[in-house]
Amino acid sequence: MMAVAGAAGYAFYRADNFWGLVLMGLTVIWAIITALPIMDSTWRFKVGFVAATFFGSIVCLLPTFEDLSRAKDGTARFKCPTYVRDRIEFGVVKGLDLQGGLRLVYTVEVEEALRDKRDKFADDMRQDLATSYKIHTGEGLLKLPELKQLEEKVHIFTPESALLRIKFVNPADLSMIDQRFKEKFAKELAEVRTSEPGEVVFKLRAELETQTRERAVTQAKDTVNRRVDELGLREASVTTRDEDIIVEVPGSNRAQFEEIKEIIRKTARLEFKMLDDEADFFSKVDEKLVPEGIETRIENAPLGEVNGQKQNARRTFFSTKIPNEFEGKNVKEDEVARTKAMQAALDKLKAFVKTMDVPDDHVVGYEKTEDYDPDTGKATEDGWRTFYLRARADVTGEYITDAQRQIDQRSGVPEVYVAITFSPAGADRFEQVTGDNINRRFAIILDDVINSAPVIRSKIGGGRASITMGSGDQDQQLKNAEKLEMVLRSGALPAPIQLSNESIIGPTLGEDAIAKGAIGAVASGMLVLVFMFIYYRKSGLVADAAVLFNLLFQLAILASFSGTLTLPGIAGLALTIGVAIDANVLINERIREELRQGKSVRAAVDAGYDKAFTAIVDGHVTMFISGLILAQYGTGPVKGFAVTLIIGIIASLFTGVFCTRLVFDWWVRGAKVKRLSVGAEF
């Protein structure tokens, strides 16, 4: 048998199957104990299981022992073997209060998720009404000319995040909102009474609104979690509280903190929208109302094709640039000041646009403009310009399945871009949109900023597109492309998030916390263990061993889930020592009562465990339920305490009842002791 086990272990080692090797080793230990000529087979089987659990817990905790013993200078008092360290990816992580770090609280703008849901219903309604008017066949997306025809007959307004208002030009057409139309949207939308002629109003149902809000927070949390994982931050934790997302990153690397904040705050909301160059919306603005610092400019815009002939027209747009003190500089001497100036210029342009009466079915987009010195490749002038867009996104980031950073060398000047791949449904949609809008501009929008607005030259099939990183410094382009690739692959946030609170816990505070917490936990634990030995003698030693095994088992479970150990968690561990001891106190007192009644040692042990078991289970179940409630509704420190409490309760039943019973059974059945050491009088 040993030869077979050795051969299997060697095969696992050669195949680099670490956990197969560990499992084989634990099985061998179990088998050896089971084969020993002592006690009965059931007892040996149980002891083998306990031994395998004990050694398995130690293996799981080897990397954790090294991490927890690491000093401030990085040296560890305990060194885990490299072979083991490289193959165990989990471990107990010190919480923010134990080693310091960054705590970020983001608020999810769930109203944006509601607006997205509302806008999808608005698109469906336009499609349905266009079909009823015989403008559209009912298949595929509405084309721009079809939308124009529909707007001559009906307008769909979206005054609030959960409201849809349909206004017919001819009030008699209100009959198109018939029973069929209402039933189509009945599950999600409720009709709101209105006295306006030729008008009907719908509102998102309360249950859908609640579901959308909750889903937005959950999806945002999952997306942030994926982004944190992409950065390799195994020790970071991401949790939610109401409509907030809490990110905790242990450590003291300020540069890493800034990168984390930049990656997290990117919504990665990718949209493709058609420009409405036919409207020439900005030309209607009175030139006298244009603020100083904003320029009115003219460009030649493509308007599609008529009978195969490309149509073009001169169109108005507005632009702004950063203040003059930055103009002509080939080197960005103060990047922070430049960034603030760019944001101020954008805010000024947006404030001006807010004075315009932009229709609900249109939006104004903003693109960053840059002029570069051809000799140095450095920016000499930055600014912003406007585009007049259709509000409807023809293609969105939800159809993206992959994103890869690429470098195009064909032009002689390396150009960095991110190649994106669409799902089959997204590829079909993208092909139809580009095929229907040849010689029109198509805006690529990332996080509400237009990346580019190229002219569609031909139908684009194959399910692929690209986002360029612009000109300028190639190293910065590569960094930007890498970040964009990361956020696109991790998925877009369902709604924007805003940083509502940021706090940094210094590492010194963490060291003080862990020192005091460790001293308190060890001191209280030692007092309990010493008391048990003094009061119950050898039986107290058995209880002490069970408590230590309990702590080892708890840490192993925490490590297997990459749990975070916090100060409240340490308090939870200390509390479970008392819970485990309490179970053994009940058992020992029951045994002493049976011995006082004159029962034999074996009968006293059997009766003691049987009578104490009900009380032990009742107490453990009560605390387990309390822990579940705290874990469900608590956050931060309270949740950390609850998790360790729940794990401790489970471990306490295993070590305090199951394991100690094996020792007592050995005493009374194997060693056949005549006198049981359960106190001074026995």
Q: What is the three-class DSSP state of 637?
A: helix
Q: What is the mean pLDDT of residues 154-171?
A: 90
> Would you state the pLDDT for residue 400?
86
pLDDT at 331: 46
Task: Dump pLDDT digits (tens) for 411-455.
Answer: 666 778 888 898 898 899 999 999 989 999 999 998 888 988 889
Q: Domains of the chain: which residue ranges?
A: 1-89, 110-208, 266-472, 507-682
Structure token pair of residue 264? 């997290």
* Alpha carbon separation from 369 to 372, 435, 449, 465, 647 (Å, rounded): 10, 28, 11, 22, 57
Higher-confidence residue: 588 or 328?
588
Q: Give the pLDDT of residue 22.
A: 86
Q: From 200, 117, 123, select the one nearest 166 (Cα to Cα).
A: 200
What is the C-alpha to C-alpha distance for residues 508 and 517, in angstroms, rounded to an integer? Answer: 14
Q: What confidence tens digit (pLDDT) does each residue in 221-277 have? A: 988 888 887 776 656 778 888 899 988 887 766 777 888 888 887 776 788 999 999
Q: Sorting pLDDT into bands at 50, 70 and 90, what band is 471?
A: low
Residues 463-485, mean pLDDT to the nearest whole number: 75
Written as one string, the DSSP assignment of 256-320 is HHHHHHHHHH----EEEEEB-TTT-GGGGS-GGGSPTTEEEEEEEEEEEEETTEEEEEEEEEEEE
Per-residue pLDDT at 647 exceeds 50 = yes
Sequence letter at residue 452: S
- Region 506-515: mean pLDDT is 61
Which residue has better confidence, 386 or 638? 386
Distances (CA, A) of 42 to 32, 33, 34, 602: 14, 11, 9, 17
Is the confidence at residue 509, as pLDDT, over 70?
Answer: no
Q: What is the pLDDT of residues 46-69, one digit of tens each?
A: 999 999 999 999 999 998 888 877
User: How far apart are alpha carbons 464 and 671 in whole angstroms?
Assistant: 76
| Domain 507-682, CATH class in plain words | mainly alpha
pLDDT for res 16? 66
Higher pLDDT, 470 or 182: 182
Higher pLDDT, 353 or 81: 353
- Average pLDDT over every residue of 453-481: 79
Distances (CA, A) of 39 to 42, 47, 54: 8, 11, 21
Work out the pLDDT band at 636, boundaries 50, 70, 90.
Answer: low
pLDDT for 332 equals 47
Residue with tokens 């010689």: 439
Handedness of CA 309, 431, 157, 387 (dihedral sign): negative
Give the mean pLDDT of 293-298.
93
Instruction: Name the least confident of 36-45, 120-129, 518-527, 673-682.
Output: 673-682
- 328 or 408, which is more confident? 408
State the average pLDDT over residues 205-217: 92
> Where residue 334 falls among pLDDT bands split at 50, 70, 90?
low
pLDDT band with cut points at 50, 70 and 90 for residue 380: low
191-208 CB burial, b ≥16 within 10 A, e <16: eeeeeeeebbbbbbbeeb
Considering the chain, what percentage of its residues have pLDDT values greater than 90?
A: 28
Q: What is the mean pLDDT of the chain?
A: 84
Residue 357 has pLDDT above 80, yes or no: yes
Tokens encoding 307: 């009978």
Q: Has residue 597 got a pLDDT over 80?
A: yes
Higher pLDDT residue, 545 or 639?
Answer: 545
* Per-residue pLDDT at 330 exceeds 50: no
